[in-house]
Structure 1
Amino acid sequence: MKTLFFGVLLMAAATPAMAQDEPRFCPTRPSLGGSSCTTEPGQVHFEFSTLDWQRDDRSDQRDDRIVAADLLARIGVGKDTEVQFGWTAFGHDRTRDKTTGQIDQVDGTGDISFAVREHLTGEKGKPFSAGIQAFVTVPTGRYPVGAGTWSAGGIIPVQYNLTEKLAVDFTAEADAAANQSGAGRHLAYSGIGGLRYKLTDDVSLYQELSVERDNDPSGHETHLLAASSIAWRPTKRFQIDLLGAFGLNRDTPDVRVISGGAILF
């Protein structure tokens, strides 16, 4: 069934555009940061994770989280504007107490998110681009797969192309993040810096460093994360990608691996 599903996606992605030969295809994934690029009016940009696994190994417990079918639809509604709808179709959380050996497991769906992205500046052939994105998350999932209460935030991504192949980018984000208790919100903010290198016209490599401050009432933490990823585009409308991330301090989950892709209709 999976082979058939991806075969259909690949054939759909290979269908030539009626209006133009070079569609604006700019997936946000596999980058940790944001993007100022928006989907063209009348087109739908679909991004998906086939598998998202994260492990957090601490002195007293080990937590493994698996997410499958993390879905995002991006719909162009204006020359520089798109709306987004996201949903996590399935999540599995497994926690093992290292002292007692007790295992707790939770399966469920995640929350639904709504976002609006606006491309502020930047044109094809120009080195600098910037945008802004606002989002809100509705608590439709079960904790810990879902947050348990609504959250909201804003993202400002900027990028500068050093050469035709090499670009640097930075994403600033501030959130009214859901408390771990599932009631109320707190301030969380982050900065993500990255490098993108086009190995070929079809393959791009990414290297990123993320710093996040999370002021949850249950305990304030600073998360430091390094990530490497690769994206391959077999057609002008289809992408397959893979990301690996590693925690650089004790408050950050140890490892995370995400596979998935994107398609433009």
Structure 2
Amino acid sequence: MRRALVLAGLIVASPAWADDQDRDYCPARPGLGTPACTISPGRVSVETSLADWSLDKQPGERTDTVLIGDTQLRIGLSDSVEAQIGWTPAGFVRDRTGSTIDRVTRTGDVTLGLKANFAHPDGKGFSIAAQPFVTLPVGRTPIGAGDWGAGLVVPITYDLSDKVNLAVTPEVDVAVDQDGHGRHFAASTVVGVGFALNDRLTLTVEGQAIRDDDPSGKSTQGLASASLAYMASKDLQLDVGGVAGLTKDAPDVELYAGVSRRF
């Protein structure tokens, strides 16, 4: 009986302990990079792109891609470790080659990952983490990759001041070949600077370089990005952003808007 009373007391007290120990909400969106912070233990973050449109124009061809509800679920497992589940439920591709137009509607693949933080899981000061992940081919091309893939992200952030944050995100991938069969090496690096415009609004500017050694043709992409994140409350963030391609292999433009909610 005494053990039952002690257990009941711990259960009742645990929410208050979690509230006392809870840290500032740190969504992984928006932007090209990845924050080093992790979600507080026992908390869940749902981060969704309400709409994401990208345009890729190549000689004689134009491809428009729209993703709806691209979502990542982040679950705090401990003070410095979180689990991640991502999925794109709907994607629409319109491809025009000359006078021929093809339209395709597909679902995307599922991504499973973990993030382990090694210094300051709240993201304050200097923070670094490792984030391995795998993608499962539950979707269909061209939204899904057609085969399994894997990768490792190592996000690093540093507060230059109370208002300015520097972020570097290197990544290496075992990426799926363009034809959906087999895998190859790919790597990228994102460098970004975040500016706290006030207590709720943050502007982030970033640059990204991507090297992809696909057997169908190696490519190097350069991207530039700007995004705004508005913290509507301590558990709710709204965001908008845009990406511009800087090289011929990169998509021309991407625009998106999203929402993140912590529970």
Query: Do these two structures clear the TM 0.5 threshold for a shared fold by scoring above it?
Result: yes
Contact 2:37 2:123 in 1 (8 A): no
| 1:17-32 alignment, distance < 5 Å | 19-20=19-20, 23-32=23-32
Deviation of 1:18 after TM superposition, in Å, equals 7.3
| 1:59-78 alignment, distance < 5 Å | 59-78=59-78
Mapped to 2, the partners of 1:97 and 1:157 lie a distance apart of 39
Contact 2:114 2:132 in 1 (8 A): yes
Q: 1:18 to 1:79 in 2, by over 3 A?
A: closer
Contact 2:145 2:176 in 1 (8 A): yes
Which piece of structure 1 moves more, 115-124 or 188-197?
Answer: 115-124
| 1:205-224 alignment, distance < 5 Å | 205-224=203-222
Contact 1:208 1:228 in 2 (8 A): yes
Mapped to 2, the partners of 1:91 and 1:211 lie a distance apart of 25
Mapped to 2, the partners of 1:48 and 1:66 lie a distance apart of 14
List per-residue Cα deviations over 1:118-176 (Å, max 9, x = no partner).
Answer: 01112669521111100000001110010000000000011111100001110000000
Instruction: Determine if the alignment matches structure 1 residue 161 to structure 2 residue 159.
Output: yes
The structure whose Rg is larger is 2
Out of 170, 175, 182, which is 2:173 matched to? Answer: 175
Question: Partner residue of 1:138?
Answer: 136
2:146 alignment partner AA: G
| 1:4-15 alignment, distance < 5 Å | none
Mapped to 2, the partners of 1:184 and 1:124 lie a distance apart of 38
| 1:32-47 alignment, distance < 5 Å | 32-47=32-47
Deviation of 1:60 after TM superposition, in Å, equals 1.6
Contact 1:24 1:39 in 2 (8 A): no
Question: Partner residue of 1:253?
Answer: 251
Aligned positions, number:
248
Deviation of 1:24 after TM superposition, in Å, equals 3.2
Q: 1:123 to 1:54 in 2, by over 3 A?
A: closer
Question: Partner residue of 1:7?
Answer: none
List per-residue Cα deviations over 1:37-62 (Å, max 9, x = no partner).
Answer: 11111110110000010000111200
Question: Partner residue of 1:230?
Answer: 228
Fraction of identical pairs, as percent: 39
Segments of 4+ in structure 1 off by > 4 A?
A: 123-126
2:93 alignment partner AA: D
Question: Partner residue of 1:8?
Answer: none
Secondary structure of 1:141's partner? coil
TM-score by length of 1: 0.90
Deviation of 1:23 after TM superposition, in Å, equals 3.9
Question: Partner residue of 1:193?
Answer: 191
Contact 1:224 1:252 in 2 (8 A): yes
1:59 alignment partner AA: P
Contact 2:113 2:132 in 1 (8 A): yes
Mapped to 2, the partners of 1:35 and 1:240 lie a distance apart of 17
Contact 1:223 1:251 in 2 (8 A): yes
Secondary structure of 1:19's partner? helix
2:253 alignment partner AA: V
Question: Partner residue of 2:5?
Answer: none
Mapped to 2, the partners of 1:125 and 1:179 lie a distance apart of 35
Which consecutive residues of structure 1, in runs of 5 or more, have no partner in the other structure? 1-15
Which piece of structure 1 moves more, 174-183 or 121-130?
Answer: 121-130
1:187 alignment partner AA: F
Deviation of 1:19 after TM superposition, in Å, equals 2.0
Question: Partner residue of 2:11?
Answer: none
Contact 1:195 1:207 in 2 (8 A): yes
Mapped to 2, the partners of 1:191 and 1:126 lie a distance apart of 21
1:224 alignment partner AA: G
Question: Partner residue of 2:116?
Answer: 118
Mapped to 1, the partners of 2:250 and 2:62 lie a distance apart of 13
1:87 alignment partner AA: W
Secondary structure of 2:86's partner? strand
